[in-house]
Amino acid sequence: MKVQFADSNVRVFESALYRTTSTVLQTPDLVLLVDPNWLPEEVDVIKDYVNKIRNERPLYLLFTHSDYDHIIGYGTFLDAKVIASQAFVENADKEAIVKQIKDWDAEYYISTKL
């Protein structure tokens, strides 16, 4: 997975799909992951990086909005505390977002097992 930017506190991962990004920010008190997205192998790379730097700090997920491509990797980080925008929380059609994720997975199912 391409790293678009990296310094001692921030790493921006770029997906092969649509060049969407996922950002990991670390402070002395926490690790923040913004919009974990797309391909299973890419989400695994992000997870491995988060696990490498976490050091017992709490993990927070920040969803900038509720489009399915921004939240598709959520299930990999179930122990994280979630922060969502007001628009995300007030989305009246949450079921449609979940359906989009399931439809995408059904159409483009990718097995990472060889």
- Tell me the pLDDT tens digit for each residue of 14-60: 999 889 999 999 999 999 999 998 888 999 999 999 999 999 999 99
The fraction of the chain above a pLDDT of 90, given in percent, is 54
pTM: 0.81
Does the residue 20 lie in any domain? Answer: yes
Does the residue 25 lie in any domain? Answer: yes
First-to-last alpha carbon distance for the chain, in angstroms, is: 18
d(CA 60, CA 25): 10
Does the residue 64 lie in any domain? Answer: yes
Q: Who contacts 28 (Cβ-Cβ below 8 Å, separation ≥6)?
A: none
Query: Does residue 107 have a pLDDT over 80?
Result: no
Number of domains in the chain: 1
Q: How confident is the model at residue 90 (pLDDT cuts 50, 70, 90)?
A: confident
d(CA 54, CA 5): 19
Neighbours of 68 (CB within 10 A): 17
Does the residue 21 lie in any domain? Answer: yes
Does the residue 63 lie in any domain? Answer: yes
Does the residue 114 lie in any domain? Answer: no
Q: How confident is the model at residue 114 (pLDDT cuts 50, 70, 90)?
A: very low
Q: What is the domain range of residue 44?
A: 2-108
Q: How confident is the model at residue 101 (pLDDT cuts 50, 70, 90)?
A: confident
Query: Phi and psi (nearest 5°) for 28?
Result: -60, -25
CATH code, domain with 49? 3.60.15.10
d(CA 114, CA 19): 25
Q: What is the CA radius of gyration of the chain?
A: 14
Write out the H or E segment, with its range, that includes residue 94. Answer: helix 94-108
- CA 27, distance to chain mean position in Å, is 18
